[in-house]
Amino acid sequence: MGEIQIELKCAKEQDHDYEQAKQDVWKYIFGFVEIAVVKCAIELKIADTIESHGKPMTLSELSSTLGCSLSHLHRIMRFLVHRRIFKEINTPHDALTYSQTPLSHLLMTSGRHSMAALHLLLNSPPMLATWHSLSSRIVGNDSSAFEAANGEDLWSYAAANPGFSQLINEAMACGARVSVAVIVDECRDVFEGVETVVDVGGGNGTALGMLVKGFPWIRGINFDLPHVVFVAQESEGVENVGGDMFDCVPKADAAYLMWVLHDWGDDECIHILKKCREAIPEDKGKVIIVDAVLENGGDDEKEDKLSDVRLMMDMVMMSQTNKGKERTLKEWEYVLGEAGFRRHTVRRIRAVQSVIEAFP
């Protein structure tokens, strides 16, 4: 192939790439629209309403039940159908109806597979405001973007605002329902021989309640800040205990930390892990960490699909916390080693997180 032909080929490829880029850029310009419309659908309880109806609903039925504008709802549903969140079905009488999809089921406000609370938390006004301060955070501002936007750090803000604290608990509970179900299914051996488990930063106790139900030989201690456990649910086999994980962790055979350590920098993680190490027996104790590991280490299709979620979660940690981050395997090895754990194992599961067992 001559030089001119090569140049022409490269020019065509560049033109194609540029045309594709012009299409792709609109996704970033209007990326907020999907967030806002999905939040609207959750707040209106569209999926819940169709589910309660027991069969597909016409636009007028849906509008009447929700008490909202027919024309506005039509435009919302058109958008959501285009995103495959709901499905349009034509009836024998040519009446257009809307039905549920697997995705819309995840946006119901109730149910063990619901992810609605997590969406509402991450897209609540205090959380969304932080993204406008992200660039100042990058150029050297020591405070978190959350603090810059809301006047205090995430945890202080939650302690002072019960409604926001409840939103955090509900969001963590919905995440727990998804991940713990996988852990109960795939990680039974991790909990064999463990009689007591303290869930450090256990929120409203959803995760520990599921673990105790799945592994009934366990006695659980749900441990979190006093204002958190004050509103925690009562669950058979689970004791709610208030305290500060930076001061002391209740004694147990195993300390369980799910979506906790990614909120903190390395020094804080090492401190927390040392407190957990003090709480477990030297001979048979373990710390069970359920958190993301950024390095996939394989070509598994499901892992590859979730790797993008893990990277987005890392951006959330940068925006919402002072020093939090998602960690690579080497970064996990560092904090565990510095905390005095002699060995650890990492297990991939069908979830965003992995299960890390650390032994003193």
What integer pLDDT is reported at residue 232 of this predicted model? Answer: 84
Q: Which residue has the tokens 């009488």?
A: 93
Residue 18 pLDDT: 82
Is there a contact between 66 and 44 (Cβ–Cβ < 8 Å)?
yes
User: In degrees, to the nearest 5, what angle opens at C-alpha 327 toward C-alphas 283 and 339?
Assistant: 30
Given a cut of 50, is residue 160 above it in pLDDT? yes
How far does Cα 166 stand from its chain's mean position? 16
CA atoms of 319 and 349, how far apart (whole Å): 27
Mean pLDDT of the chain: 90
Q: Residue 58: which region, alpha, beta or left (left: phi > 0; alpha: psi -120 to 50)?
A: beta
Decide if pLDDT at 4 tops 80.
no
Cα end-to-end span (Å), the chain: 64
- Give the catalytic positions in this structure: 262
Nearest to 258 by CA among 229, 292, 286, 234: 292
User: Does 303 or 55 have the greater pLDDT score?
Assistant: 55
Q: How far apart are CA 11 and CA 295, in angstroms?
A: 36
Provide the 3-class DSSP secondary structure of residue 15: helix
Q: Which of 109-118, 208-217, 284-293, 322-331 has the lowest average pLDDT?
A: 109-118
pLDDT over 70 percentage in the chain: 92
**pTM of this structure:** 0.87
Model pLDDT, residue 5: 61
pLDDT the model gives residue 134: 85
> Is residue 123 scored above 50 in pLDDT?
yes
Q: Between 24 and 302, whose confidence is greater?
A: 24
**pLDDT higher than threshold 90 for residue 116:** yes
CB 98 within 8 A of CB 50: yes
Q: Which of 158-162, 184-188, 298-302, 315-319 has the lowest mean pLDDT?
A: 298-302
Distance CA 36, CA 47 (A): 16
For the stretch 187-193, contacts whose Cβ atoms lie closer than 8 Å and that sit 24 or more positions apart, written own/partner, are 187/347, 187/349, 187/355, 188/214, 188/215, 190/288, 190/347, 190/355, 190/357, 191/215, 191/218, 191/254, 193/284
Is the separation of the CB atoms in 198 and 281 below 8 Å? no
Whether residue 7 is predicted with pLDDT greater than 80 in this model: the reply is no
More confident residue, 250 or 134: 250
Is the pLDDT confidence value at 1 over 70?
A: no
How does residue 6 score in pLDDT terms, banded at 50, 70 and 90?
Answer: low
User: What's the whole-number mean pLDDT along residues 199-215?
Assistant: 94
| Predicted pLDDT at 17 | 83
CA distance 261 to 266: 9
pLDDT tens digit sequence for 57-93: 999 999 999 999 999 999 999 999 999 999 999 877 7
What does the DSSP assignment read for 288-357? EEEE-BS---S--HHHHHHHHHHHHHHHHHHHHSSS---B-HHHHHHHHHHTT--EEEEEE-SSSSEEEE
Q: What is the average pLDDT across 335-347?
A: 96
Q: Is 206 within 8 Å of 176 (Cβ atoms)?
A: yes
pLDDT band at 144 (very low <50, low <70, confident <90, very high): confident
What is the CB-side half-sphere exposure of residue 10 using CA atoms within 13 A?
Answer: 7
